[in-house]
Structure 1
Amino acid sequence: MPHTVLRFERAEAPELPDFQVEVDGELVEFRWPSRTADWWEMWKRSPQAEHFSSTDWDFLLDTALIHARYWRGDTSQAAELRLRVAKHGATMEDRARLRMAFAEADEADGGKGSSGADAARARYAKLRVIKPGTDDEAEG
């Protein structure tokens, strides 16, 4: 099935915005719960954030509003919150489903472990190609 390849443009994480909401017919300054502010900072520092574009941050910002409602006691949006953070790889299960993996193992040995090119060269350095019909074939 054909697909479209997009040029990736990493976007910097925005700050949680200041805005007003209507309460009893009057506009009042919205205050982010401290738990949501901490949650937002966690996402900004997460390894996943290196792969977020502007649309990802916009979607996560909308998710922050749901998170704020949740931490203010409105649990009616808990399922939506869970679904939205899963799209960004919040849990081990989410990251596995999204085919995300941390690079700790490669970094620990400088990339020279069983998947490193240097290790492969050392392991197979003594192998040689045997062409049919040559003397090497008889030596086996």
Structure 2
Amino acid sequence: MAGMGPPPKSPEKRARRNKGPEVHVIVSEPVPQPALPKRMPNGDPWPEITRAWWRMWGKDPLAAEFRATDWAELRDTAAIHGAYWSGDLKMAGELRLRTAKFGATAEDRARLRITYAAADDADDRRERRRSGSSGEATKRRYAELKAVD
């Protein structure tokens, strides 16, 4: 099955700085995660792993911004997840494609241009180490070394 191509480059590495497409701003409030229906669409009970998967999505920081349509799509994806874990392995490709749209993996989030704040904090700390304060620490660390002729 075909993928979606490589993740996008970071803006700093791009050769061209073309203006992106116009963005339409719409006012919409996030909604809380609804409960899963009592049973899967085929009438079977939900596999416990799918119930845990649904709870995991409810706790994910990305879910704080989900609208009703997002939850509806994720609920339909839960049915595919349940079918997969009930033994219908031909659903794996569709499950992968649908969860990718929600940023399930690090690669998916890169493609969607989503970063967690912790990564930004780590980048800031790394930049501070590079830009000066670590220079003094390096000098102190090597101060006792002597050149050998």
**TM-score of Structure 1 vs Structure 2, range by shorter chain:** 0.5 to 0.7
Q: Is the contact between residue 30 and residue 68 of structure 2 (CA under 8 Å) also seen in structure 1?
A: yes
Within 1, Cα distance between the matches of 2:115 and 2:80? 27
Pairing 1:32–2:60 present: no
**Which 4+ stretches in 1 moved above 6 angstroms?**
111-115
Equivalent residue for 1:14? 34
Which structure's CA Rg is the greater one?
A: 1
Structure 2 length-normalised TM: 0.63
Equivalent residue for 1:97? 111
Going by fraction, where is helix more abundant, 1 or 2? 2
Q: Is the contact between residue 106 and residue 113 of structure 1 (CA under 8 Å) also seen in structure 2?
A: no
1:97-125 Cα deviation digits (max 9, x unpaired): 111111115568xx99969xxxxxxxxxx
- 1:4 is displaced (CA, Å) by 2.9
Change (3 A) 1:70 1:45: same
Pairing 1:84–2:95 present: no
Going by fraction, where is strand more abundant, 1 or 2? 1
Change (3 A) 1:30 1:101: same
> 1:89 is matched by which residue type in structure 2?
G
Long gaps (5+) in structure 1: 23-28, 116-140
Equivalent residue for 2:75? 61
Structure 1 length-normalised TM: 0.67
- Greater RCO between the two (CA within 8 Å, min separation 6)? 2
- 1:71 is displaced (CA, Å) by 0.1
> 1:49 is matched by which residue type in structure 2?
A
Q: How many residues align?
A: 108
Long gaps (5+) in structure 2: 1-20, 129-149
Within 2, Cα distance between the matches of 1:90 and 1:21? 23
- 1:8 is displaced (CA, Å) by 2.6
Within 2, Cα distance between the matches of 1:82 and 1:89? 11
Within 1, Cα distance between the matches of 2:106 and 2:40? 36
Equivalent residue for 1:49? 63
- 1:18 is displaced (CA, Å) by 1.3
Within 1, Cα distance between the matches of 2:70 and 2:64? 11
